[in-house]
Amino acid sequence: MRSNINVKIKKLHPDAVIPQYAKEGDAGMDLVAVSETWNENNTMVTYDTGLAMEIPNGFVGLLFPRSSVSKTTLSLANCVGVIDSGYRGPVMLKFRYLEEGDVYDIGDRVGQLVIVELPFVQVTEVDELSSTERGAGGFGSTGK
């Protein structure tokens, strides 16, 4: 069973769509584009959801592309967007336009919002770390 939190949403645009889960058990709520802005060389497009939100302290909003992005020539520019609990501005998703091809239209679901609880992390500087089987093995050290 999921725990419940309340996230306040403010419509900044009359066509804004309040985020919702498409199916029970979904991790992310769909975000719908109300406008798009292209940069001067048409290599980046920003979709505005027309929404602002108040994420409770101790939580973060994470913006992910939807799996339908694979049907476009777009790639979310920052891979995962972060909405901190103190941010009250418009929620937007910026995509790189990689090559000629399909993009999202106004009214399309362009991303998904996942709200996650955050622990408060205390950092301690030490001279040594505990050892593990993996150790310092990095990129690809455990196989392909």
Q: Give residue 135's pLDDT.
A: 78
pLDDT 10s digits, 14-44: 999 999 999 999 999 999 999 999 999 989 9
Q: What is the dihedral sign for C-alpha 136, 119, 83, 49?
A: positive
Q: Give residue 134's pLDDT.
A: 80
pLDDT 10s digits, 95-128: 999 888 899 899 999 999 999 999 999 999 999 9
Q: What is the DSSP string of 120-143?
A: PPPP---S-----SSTT--TTTT-
pLDDT band at residue 68 using 50, 70 and 90 as cut-offs = confident
What mean pLDDT is reported for the chain? Answer: 92
For the chain, list the domains and their CATH numbers. Answer: 30-117 (2.70.40.10)
